Amino acid sequence: MSKPALRLRSWPLTVLYYLLPLGALRPLSRVGWRPVSRVALYKSVPTRLLSRAWGRLNQVELPHWLRRPVYSLYIWTFGVNMKEAAVEDLHHYRNLSEFFRRKLKPQARPVCGLHSVISPSDGKILNFGQVKNCEVEQVKGVTYSLESFLGPRIPTEDLPFSPATSCGSFRSQLVTREGNELYHCVIYLAPGDYHCFHSPTDWTVSHRRHFPGSLMSVNPGMARWIKELFCHNERVVLTGDWKHGFFSLTAVGATNVGSIRIYFDQDLHTNSPRYSKGSYNDFSFVTHTNKEGIPMRKGEHLGEFNLGSTIVLIFEAPKDFNFKLKAGQKIRFGEALGSL
């Protein structure tokens, strides 16, 4: 039997191996069979297809009488606080998508004016701190490559020479000012959280890079399980500059969150049926008529997810930048992340 055929036939056995009592399929090991790893088994699930199906289901208009029981179940399951919603009447939301993307009352999230960087969303702080050795922690003890996550800083076709690929050279492309350091912050949005995200500071967005990819779950348990999870998943990287140099915000997709929307980017289309693994699409907001890009004010609406997901901030700042956070804490949009 060929290796592909043997591998194919091993999938049903692997599922049984993890479902049945321990040792039930142990006799198969005598003939050389080994179960596929849990990670490989999970990666084989067609999460992009499932997410597109979920997205279409979200658009189906619910009968008026069914809206309250469906949304009430979701509110109870995920602890949603509807008193903060701009519209509290559950009958107002025609489908699940409208409910997920509900707006908040203006006074529900005051924006902190005393600190230079605020939380762009509601969520849970997974990790934060200085970027060391060009590795970023997705959760404590589990890292991913900064260059794999952001992609090359400068397109190689625009350079008169082949760019160096060492960690130091890539970091030097991001840190533009002497004495600055590179910082990161990872915020996980649970399904019950407010799904919109906002500008974390005053900055100018000059470039968008869209990585089509997998749509695996990004909950903290999965992030501990799969190395470089954020580099595998579909994501939209916005890069630009703030008063201290380089600044980026990345919206990472997840299972059932194929839809990532950036309000000022009408050309962005996520979770498309076809994509090449490892590919990315670039778009520049700098044009002949707009020499700088898209200016964003702190707290301004930036985009939204269709369910929970993850926001990753990577930026440069002076060495005396301090985070006002604790790993694992809950945070809300508008609250301080850190300042000088």
| 309 given a catalytic annotation | yes
Cα separation of 311 and 335, whole Å? 15
Q: What phi, psi does 37 have (nearest 5°)?
A: -65, 155
| 198 given a catalytic annotation | yes
CA-based torsion, 208, 214, 215, 217: positive or negative: negative
Q: Catalytic residue, from 184, 198, 210, 244: name it.
A: 198
Q: Which residues are registered as beta bridge partners of 79? A: none
Q: Catalytic residue, from 122, 193, 241, 265: name it.
A: 122
* Nearest alpha carbon to residue 101 among 189, 197, 195, 198: 195
* Nearest alpha carbon to residue 123 among 302, 335, 332: 332
Q: What is the dihedral of CA 226, 220, 183, 268, to 10 degrees?
A: 80
Residue with structure tokens 């945070």? 331
Tokens of 131: 């970027």
Q: Is 39 exposed, middle or buried (0-12, 13-18, 19+ CB in 10 A)?
A: middle
Cα separation of 37 and 15, whole Å? 10
- Angle among Cα 153, 154, 157 to the nearest 5 degrees reads 145
Residues recognised as catalytic? 122, 198, 309
